[in-house]
Amino acid sequence: MTPYTRREFTKLALAALPAAGMLTNLGSVRAAEAAPKPKVDSKVRGVQIGLNMPYSFGTGIMAGKDVLDICLALGVNGLELRTQTVELFLGAPVSSLGRGKDANAAALRAWRAGADVARAKAFRQNFEAAGMLIEIVKVDNIFKLGDAELDYLFTLGRAVGARALSAEISADQKDHQRLGKFADKHQMMVGLHGHTHTGPADWEKAIAHSPHIGINLDLGHFVAGNNVSPVEYLKQRHDRITHIHVKDKKMHDGPNTPLGEGDTPIVEVLRLIRDNQWPMQATIEFEYNVPAGSTRFGEIRKCIAYCRNALA
């Protein structure tokens, strides 16, 4: 996925606003920064439609201002937000926020040791003023972090208003056991995300370590890897599912597709959540290739509309 520059994000956000919208050019965007944000609402019949940001735009790092502007333009107010966006606001060096590099990890660990987490409340206030809910905070490489960093990240999640952290599932049960102790300590859920090689048996082992270890059920990955509908597992474990990832894929490790063109029963799942009023965010995670003549922004708007229509 190709990352966008700040200028490209602003252009996309402005292009998506209605003709009578409040912002018409870059100058007015900056002039309006201190003004009250227009509020949006993507909760439909009790189901919070959300967006994985900034991952859905092909990047792990984006300023909070840009995330906010884009989500307002898209009309979505539920977020699974990566830590990088919050830590950028708190003053973390951009060079330390890269993924998967030991040097970056060491620099970030050193910065986190002295970070003023209390300032994250101001970040939260900016989003809540626009009706934006940061329900989930995504943490990279969570099982490589030391005790102090784990305490810091749970505290950070709480400060921005999240009800859960999310992280990738591990192949080592000792990782889940250790993480569960911190989740219990902070009384905060952690939703574990799996890919196509992850099945119910993997989550069952993980969640057995703590009542605060939960499941981030990725609908597309589940279908592609397990070759069955996720509906029965959703019914069985809805009380441990922090949020779902809404994407469409073909079975038998098939490709990502636009919503409604794969084998994933998205409409059935959304209506099941709606009818049972289960408190889990339906988080769109955009991964399919952008069709010729379209844009990533435009395709994400289609995804949001698809979910809204399914729940209407």
Chain centre distance of CA 136: 6
For 33-81, how does the pLDDT look when each residue is reduced to its tens digit (9 = 90+)?
445 556 899 999 999 999 999 999 999 999 999 999 999 999 999 999 9
Average pLDDT, rounded, for the chain: 89
153 part of a folded domain:
yes
pLDDT band at 10 (very low <50, low <70, confident <90, very high): very low
In a domain, 21, yes or no: no
Residue 9 lies in a domain: no
CB burial string 137-157: b at 16+ within 10 A, e below: bbbbebbebeeebbebbbebb
Q: Bigger pLDDT: 78 or 3? A: 78
Supply the pLDDT for residue 22: 27
39 domain residue, yes or no? no
Total domain count, the chain: 1
For position 286, which CATH number holds? 3.20.20.150
For residue 282, the enclosing domain spans 45-311
Spatial CA neighbour of 85 closest among 137, 32, 31: 137
Q: Is residue 54 part of a domain?
A: yes
Give the number of residues written for the chain.
312
Using one digit for the tens of pLDDT, what is the confidence trace for 227-264?
Answer: 999 999 999 999 999 999 999 999 999 999 999 999 99
Instruction: Give percent of the chain above pLDDT 90.
Output: 83
DSSP secondary structure string, 137-181? EE-TTGGG--HHHHHHHHHHHHHTT-SEEEEE--S-HHHHHHHHH
How confident is residue 99, by pLDDT bands cut at 50, 70 and 90?
Answer: low
pLDDT at 222 over 60: yes
Question: What does the DSSP assignment read for 99-115?
Answer: SS-HHHHHHHHHHHHT-
8 part of a folded domain? no
Total-model pTM: 0.88
Top-confidence residue, 3 or 24: 3
User: What are the beta bridge partners of residue 80?
Assistant: 52, 136
Residues sharing a CB contact under 8 Å with residue 211, sequence separation 6 or more, in sequence order: 184
| Residue 209 maps to a domain | yes
Q: Residue 225: how many CA atoms within 13 Å on its side-chain side?
A: 15
Residue 22 lies in a domain: no
C-beta of residue 68 within 8 angstroms of C-beta of residue 127: yes
pLDDT for position 161: 97
In the predicted model, is pLDDT for residue 93 greater than 80? yes
How far apart, in Å, are the Cα atoms of 253 and each of 28, 94, 117, 242?
46, 35, 41, 24
Q: What is the pLDDT of residue 37?
A: 56
- Answer yes or no: are the C-beta atoms of 243 and 216 closer than 8 Å: yes
